Amino acid sequence: MTADERAAKGRALRDTVSRASQAGWKPPEDRRDPVQLLGDSNEGRIMELIPIRFGRMSASPFAFYRGAAALMAADLATTPTSGIRVQACGDAHLMNFGGFATPERNVIFDINDLDETLPAPFEWDLKRLAASVVIAAKHLELPNSDAAGVAMDLVREYRERMHDYAGMRALDVWYDRIDLQKYKDRTGDPAAVEAARKRIADRIEVERRKTVPDHLYPKLVAQEGSAPRIRDELPLIFHPTEQQAPGIESGYAEAIASYRESLPEHVRTLFDRFYFVDLAIKVVGVGSVGTMCAVGLFMAADNDPLFLQVKEARASVLEPYAGKSQHPNHGQRVIAGQRIMQSASDVFLGWTRGKNGRDFYLRQLRDMKMSVVIEDWDTGMLRQYARMCAHALARAHARSGDAAMMAGYMGSGQTFDDAVAEFATEYSSQNRRDYREFVRAIREGRIEATIED
């Protein structure tokens, strides 16, 4: 079919699921208890770390939302969907976007956390992203009208970008990327664009100076005799026991060999220059706390280190509602999703399985990775960042989904924008109610939470 025919097919879907039906949020009568659902999501995690996870989630409704992807996945499954599926992120809140270096050493902006990726309806990602912006606006104590306006602007940007991709050739969509050094927002505010460009340029320069041998290695590694060893910093960095990570005595030889086989042949040639030195569990993020996340140190020679982040890959939070992954290893699922959704991915992306049956994926620990700190943002900064996230999400969805069909369904007016923005606003209130119930459970001793300094 032509692009016009596919767009017409998308418009026809409105007869079954109208755009207005995407608006609003009303919890179903049989909605699961949020505290119980979050408790169920702890199955298989390191029990000693769960209080840290809940402590981080208890910091604010915004922090709670970051760790409650499983809860929202269950809620999204009860909402109307167009039926248009894409490779979905599964956890598209605004803190899961950021800058990082490509193998060619350019710095791009993209989705940078795809642990929950799975084929699913495109609206699910967009609604989670829009709701995260409203929750962030309330966290920053911005006016309610600004929160709604930013959400509306985000959805409009996504819709307009999708219309752009609908008219592009397939290879042009695939090669498109958001170059941070050249990014120009389409809002038409020259002063804001110039200020953003200067902030980005300054940040890139700072990150370029943070080389692994000179910056990361001294922070994470201590010399014990003639051998380097990752520093223990309890309770967030520590060496696992044999029970926690079987394979210590062999230096995880089987898992490393399996990981090596998952790499492209030319990357194996590079990886073979390095030898394994040490591995320690490293607590990261919010939602990942308690899973088997670690950092591995490899060396090619003195002053030539490679840090690989080893992240446990569990079943996606979308799986009960969108269907099982076609990949036999969840690490492979995550990497396949990254390669589909990201315009460039880390050269060391690979997967393996541990002796304990857990699935893992690996990537460089940091490669000029830039995350945002929103605490001092005003409405203008939040709006501009939200538009960048919407652009990145539209580009990612257009790589795997039918951009013309999605554009046809959303249309050229603001009906769809209004609907998703209304959902985001109402769901932010649901998130606050769930957060209060969660904090009440901590106060009553039903769940344990550790507040970090």
Residue 358: phi and psi, rounded to 5, are -80, 145
User: Rounded to an integer, what distance in angstroms lies between the CA atom of residue 367 and that of residue 309?
Assistant: 11
In contact, 423 and 81? CB cutoff 8 Å? no
pLDDT at position 6: 96
Q: How far is CA 380 from CA 42, 70, 332, 371, in A?
A: 38, 31, 39, 18
Nearest alpha carbon to residue 416 among 136, 205, 200, 127: 127
User: Rounded to an integer, what distance in angstroms lies between the CA atom of residue 202 and that of residue 249?
Assistant: 45
pLDDT at position 339: 95
pLDDT at position 207: 63
pLDDT at position 210: 63
Q: Which two tokens stand for residue 57?
A: 């989630």
Dihedral angle of Cα 336, 342, 348, 352, to the nearest 10 degrees: -20
In this structure, the strands spanning 304-312 and 294-301 are antiparallel
User: Rounded to an integer, what distance in angstroms lies between the CA atom of residue 66 and that of residue 431?
Assistant: 11
Give per-residue pLDDT as tens, 42-90: 999 999 999 999 999 999 999 999 999 999 999 999 999 999 999 999 9
Mean pLDDT by 10 residues, the chain (453 residues): 94 96 95 94 92 96 96 97 96 92 82 96 98 97 95 97 96 92 67 66 65 77 87 92 84 94 96 96 90 94 92 96 96 96 93 94 81 86 92 97 98 96 97 97 94 83
pLDDT at position 187: 65
Residues with Cβ < 8 Å from 17, sequence gap 6 or more?
80, 81, 82, 83
Give per-residue pLDDT as tens, 291-333: 999 999 999 998 899 999 999 999 999 999 999 999 999 999 9
pLDDT at position 238: 94
- Cis omega (within 30 of 0) for bond into 80: no
In contact, 386 and 348? CB cutoff 8 Å? no
- HEC string for the chain: CCHHHHHHHHHHHHHCCCHHHHCCCCCCCCCCCHHHHHHHCCCCCCHHHHHHHHHHHCCCHHHHHHHCHHHHHHHHCCCCCCCCEEEECCCCCHHHEEEEECCCCCEEEEECCCCCCEEEEHHHHHHHHHHHHHHHHHHCCCCHHHHHHHHHHHHHHHHHHHHHHHCCCHHHHHHCCEECCCCCCCCCCHHHHHHHHHHHHHHHHHHHHCCHHHHHHHHHEEEECCEEEECCECCCEECCCCCCCCCCCCCCHHHHHHHHHHCCHHHHHHHCCCEEEEEEEECCCCCCCCCCCEEEEEEEECCEEEEEEEEECCCCCCHHHHCCCCCCCHHHHHHHHHHHHCCCCCCCCEEEECCCCCEEEEEECCCCCECCCCCCCCHHHHHHHHHHHHHHHHHHHHHHCCHHHHHHHHCCCCHHHHHHHHHHHHHHHHHHHHHHHHHHHHHCCCCCCCCCC
Nearest alpha carbon to residue 35 among 57, 13, 19: 57
- Helices 144-166 & 403-410, crossing angle to 10 degrees? 140
Greatest pairwise CA separation for the chain in angstroms: 72
Nearest alpha carbon to residue 369 among 129, 230, 206, 174: 206
